[in-house]
Structure 1
Amino acid sequence: MTRETHDTADLPAPQPVELVSIRLPVWWTFGGLIAGLTLGLLLSGSDILEIAAKPINLVGTLWLRGLQMTIIPLVAALLILGISQMAQAARAGATARTFLVLVFAVLVFSGLVSALLLPVLLGIFPIPEAAASMLALQPVAAQQVPEIWAFAESLIAPNLVAAAAETAMLPLTIFFALFAVAIARLPDAQRATLIGFFHALANAMLTIIGWVLWLAPIGVFALAVGVGARSGGGAFATLAHYILVVSAMGGCVLAAAYALAALGAQISPLRFAKGILPSQAVAVSTQSSLASLPAMLASAKRLGIPDATADFVLPLAVAIFRATSPAMNMAVAIYVANLAGIDLTFSVLMIGIAVAFIISVGSVSLPGSISFVVSIGPIALAMGVPVEPLALLVAVEMLPDIMRTLANVTMNVSVTATVDRLRNKT
């Protein structure tokens, strides 16, 4: 009995969800951060700063709350859209299912990278002493770890409204994931109705958060003035430390892509590096996996991956797979927890990995600033980590985002090559 040459013609690969296009003032936001830190440093201890402190703090606080208010509805909508895409992919044949198994394995590995390696890295290269005062965080008492039975009971929320009010992200995330799977099993007309509703909800929330992020230069400037006054020049050192540490976790995923290509696809590291280099150049310049898709298809051809596999798997990867999402998002949450003096237990880290795993599915092709808020906010809330520092850290996200895109694009091609080899062996 011969195996069919390919099984991906039954259903097309789901394409990235089309959401509203939002152009954000990324460099203006970064400029607002630098200007605010500098002004705060210059006015530290002066009467002018004391007089202006309350109105400046008010502007920063209102902008921060504007970011927070959209997190839960936007996460719900994006999760349902992302998981519906994954359910559609699972029905597309054995190649798609092989791809999904690899995706799950890589995402779990990605989350474990930060949970296991970041505390070690921070022990070797500790956060600068000025960091805590920079973010105005006071040490927080260690969380009381619930017994295993109490933790299992908390996974299901009897009242979703109450869970949302308490920002209990783990039970909310589980519910939205189950709801998305249930929608995928509905008759076509009912499924289309609900998917259309959540597509519209996502676009509405993205429009609101787009308005809020257009004000990011003002909001970040207002928050940064107080930060600069409290921490002085240490704020710049802390931000540089943060960028390097978080990017290092993405670097681990990037290295894993080369290892997967060597072990899973049997492609030598040198050959893979030569084949993927043009795609990496596009990834760095565009910071968009979607914009890098044509270059990835060309790299796949150079590496000898059949068009039938590449043309199916790579668009699917762009639609639902972001290899660095758990690693780098967890890294941000762990970093902020260290700033706040929170001792993250094993169970809390596992909660973070679980939420990061699910949230990564809903991180459809969005601008980096929006993805930063939507993806990391739920993880931080689930782990009991303050979300306020995210309002400042979003201003420097375009720098770690280079590593995100670089590693994601490299892993997409590596996984595609591995899927092709695994399918040819069966």
Structure 2
Amino acid sequence: MSFLKSLSAQVLAALLLGLVGGALVAGAGDVPDWLPEAAQAVGSVWLGCLQMTVIPLVFSLLVVGVAAVSDAMTAGRLAMRAILWFSLLLAGATVLTFLGVEAALAAFPVDEASARALIAGATGGEVAAPQTINFAAWLTSLIPSNPLAAAASNAILPLVIFALFFAFAVTRLPEEQRVLLVKFFDAVADAMIVIVKWVLLAAPLGVFALALTLGLRGGLGATGALFHYVVLVSAGCIAVVLICYPLAALFGGVGPLRFARAVSEAQVVAFSTQSSIGTLPVMVETARRNLGVPEHVAGLVLPLSVAVFRLTSPVANLAVVLFICHVSGITPSPGQMIAAGLVAFAVSISSVGLPGQVSFFVSIAPICFAMGAPIELLPLLLAVEVIPDIFRTVGNVTADLAVTTILNKNDKGVRTIAPETA
């Protein structure tokens, strides 16, 4: 964890040094053409090394994730109800994010000059126009006649659909074959994560090169857009936290004030560690001591929620991609939004447990592909992700405890706390 924190600090420092250094060089006089081109090339090579792992990693994680959910559903009725609540909340969060983020960007748009500076620095000012297809063609494209071709062309939703079909088919195989395939794809995912970690060792260099390009081409003009991004994504995660209080009251019978007091200790630990897994022991103790959740409920639901449920994932990830579309001048079609929502839902389950920097690319790049958004901005956004990531973790921990409270009320066991309306 200390390594990840230090890497985050290094990447943020690289972003600041690149921006300021590029702006100073640009302000000193004429910038030779080769300098931003060379810096852009270095950054693009680093980004390409990350991008090459996305497809095999997403496919492998989907297979392993579906197998984990399938195994959980065989654990009994409580686990099945937990999976149902996870799915409903993730689906609801996905829909509300489109509405909320679009409304927020319409009410508080990114400054045009700052957006142009960000795009010019990250992509050279060239953003491919999104393809427009009719509904029939979009519907036909969902089923890949050639999954390998879909992977090669970054057609992410058809590939996700094939991966889900394949994963569910794996769960129907005899146990020996199923375990063999799940272990194989688990190993593939682990190997891809090792590659990503290797590439991330060069993240300060890659981000510095991209930030230097940004500073050379636009000076410090992009800082406003980056600040807007941090506020937007953090606000989305904070909204998740706030929604959990009425959820616990309406469906769990625990009043907002009581719930807020009960989960505050776990939220503080989540804020400081930025790790849901690291907060799990405190979450279990909080559920038992402060919320009166029986051990058999807390012991099943909370580890399961940490394993397969991150409510802030579709919220924050879609907010990132919608921000990229906004500053790029891209207006996604309804079909692209549906595709992005489905991909965000699937990836939110499959990417649970990955380190923050790995999860950022694995979770968001597929949504960018589905929405037709340029991924070149992701390294720059990763550099300032350290702040939104704090609120991601707090939101996930709060949601885990809210769902545990809800399931405790509906469990056939005896409740140990009375419903409140405070």
Task: Give the TM-score normalised by the residue count of structure 1.
Answer: 0.92
- Say if 2:315 is the partner of 1:327: yes
Task: Name the counterpart of 1:9.
Answer: none
- Partners in 2 of 1:49 and 1:85 — Cα distance? 54
Change (3 A) 1:380 1:142: closer
Partner of 1:233: helix, strand, or coil? coil
Quick check: 1:134–1:228 contact (8 Å CA) kept in 2? no
Task: Name the counterpart of 1:10.
Answer: none
- Say if 2:299 is the partner of 1:316: no
Per-residue deviation, residues 97-130 of structure 1 (Å, max 9, x unmatched) = 1111110111011111221111110111111221
- Say if 2:61 is the partner of 1:85: no
Task: Name the counterpart of 1:101.
Answer: 84
Quick check: 200-209 or 46-55, which moved more? 46-55
- Say if 2:57 is the partner of 1:70: no
- Say if 2:7 is the partner of 1:25: yes
- Say if 2:18 is the partner of 1:36: yes
Alignment of 1:143-222 (within 5 A): 143-147=131-135, 149-222=136-209
TM-superposed CA distance for 1:425, in Å, is: 8.9
TM-superposed CA distance for 1:145, in Å, is: 3.7
| Consecutive aligned runs of 4 or more in structure 1 exceeding 3 Å deviation | 21-24, 45-51, 137-143
Task: Name the counterpart of 1:7.
Answer: none
- Say if 2:254 is the partner of 1:267: yes
Tell me the amino acid that sits aligned with residue 131 of structure 1. Answer: A
Task: Name the counterpart of 2:332.
Answer: 344
Per-residue deviation, residues 225-257 of structure 1 (Å, max 9, x unmatched) = 111122222222111110101111112211121
Quick check: 1:41–1:232 contact (8 Å CA) kept in 2? yes
Change (3 A) 1:23 1:194: farther
Alignment of 1:123-138 (within 5 A): 123-129=106-112, 130-136=114-120, 137-138=125-126
Per-residue deviation, residues 7-46 of structure 1 (Å, max 9, x unmatched) = xxxxxxxxxxxxxx97871110111001000011101163
TM-superposed CA distance for 1:419, in Å, is: 0.9
TM-superposed CA distance for 1:48, in Å, is: 5.6
- Partners in 1 of 2:20 and 2:221 — Cα distance? 11
Change (3 A) 1:191 1:265: same
Quick check: 1:113–1:252 contact (8 Å CA) kept in 2? no
RMSD across aligned positions (CA): 1.7
Tell me which of 360, 364, 375 is aligned to 1:387. Answer: 375
Task: Name the counterpart of 1:416.
Answer: 404
Quick check: 126-135 or 46-55, which moved more? 46-55
- Partners in 2 of 1:215 and 1:141 — Cα distance? 31
Task: Give the TM-score normalised by the residue count of structure 2.
Answer: 0.92
Gaps spanning 5+ residues in structure 1: where? 1-20
Change (3 A) 1:23 1:399: closer
Quick check: 1:330–1:356 contact (8 Å CA) kept in 2? yes
**Count of residues in Structure 1 that have an aligned counterpart in Structure 2:** 405
Task: Name the counterpart of 1:56.
Answer: 39
Alignment of 1:218-229 (within 5 A): 218-229=205-216
TM-superposed CA distance for 1:132, in Å, is: 2.4
Q: Identity percentage over the alignment?
A: 42
Quick check: 2:86–2:309 contact (8 Å CA) kept in 1? yes
Alignment of 1:115-126 (within 5 A): 115-126=98-109
Whichever structure has more helix as a proportion of its residues is 2
TM-superposed CA distance for 1:345, in Å, is: 2.6
Tell me the amino acid that sits aligned with residue 368 of structure 1. Answer: G
Per-residue deviation, residues 59-82 of structure 1 (Å, max 9, x unmatched) = 111101111111000111111111
- Partners in 2 of 1:374 and 1:139 — Cα distance? 22
Tell me which of 384, 402, 406 is aligned to 2:394. Answer: 406
- Partners in 2 of 1:53 and 1:388 — Cα distance? 15
Quick check: 307-316 or 385-394, which moved more? 385-394
Task: Name the counterpart of 1:280.
Answer: 267
Alignment of 1:343-382 (within 5 A): 343-382=331-370
